[in-house]
A and B are shown apart, each in its own frame.
Chain A
Amino acid sequence: KAGVTQTPRYLIKTRGQQVTLSCSPISGHRSVSWYQQTPGQGLQFLFEYFSETQRNKGNFPGRFSGRQFSNSRSEMNVSTLELGDSALYLCASSPTGQTSSYEQYFGPGTRLTVT
């Protein structure tokens, strides 16, 4: 099976702009989670989508949003970009939404630079 794919891999944006990142989960996986990775804060959970519904949310401002489509593909959007939003954004997919399965598989990430 193909792994988790994320597009684009690299992105440069200007402060104040908005950005949309895309994630295609492993075939058959219905849960998609997003994480932000920075040198200062490490890996932080943004949100999780399952069956097109946001199931869990981390402690990020409302400028960070996401959605999931019927084919399980997911997008996340960051509006009014700030310099501190520069990070590696990682998407992870999971085989099932049932509590018995916790394995998450990460994509390569999208490196966002805000100037």
Chain B
Amino acid sequence: QQQVKQSPQSLIVQKGGISIINCAYENTAFDYFPWYQQFPGKGPALLIAIRPDVSEKKEGRFTISFNKSAKQFSLHIMDSQPGDSATYFCAASVRGATNKLIFGTGTLLAVQP
């Protein structure tokens, strides 16, 4: 019940296209859902995050869509660029355990020029 399931495992998108990564959870105690981007040899970097009381959040080319009833959330990367090629992780934070992030398994995104 503590898991966050992420798909797909890998994704190839053409430059200018839309990259979509999906995550699902079971634990209704989760109340914070961040997305992280990780380049090889680097630590994860916070991209964007959302709370359950919001259905969508947009920051630049990155958008989180959140479906509370389905317990699903997704990351959309608009106008994908080769520089976006990285591993993306969704995560969830349990209410009452402030900084204890439960991570998805990651999606390796390759944006082809």
Contacts and interface: CB of A to CB of B under 8 A. Distances in A.
A94 B97 CA distance: 13
Give the interface size class of chain A.
20 to 34
A103 B44 CA distance: 12
A106 B87 CA distance: 15
Given A43-B89, A90-B43, A106-B45, A97 B98 contact: yes
A42 B46 contact: no
A97 B102 CA distance: 18
Interface residues of B, number: 25
Contacts of A70: none
Interface of A: 4, 31, 33, 35, 42-45, 48, 55-56, 58, 90, 92, 94, 97-99, 101-109
10 contacts: A42-B106, A56-B99, A58-B100, A90-B44, A98-B98, A99-B98, A102-B32, A103-B46, A103-B49, A108-B41
Which 4 pairs of residues, A with B, have the shortest CB-CB distance?
Answer: A106-B43, A43-B103, A56-B100, A102-B32
Interface of B: 32, 34, 36, 41-46, 49, 89, 91, 93, 95-106
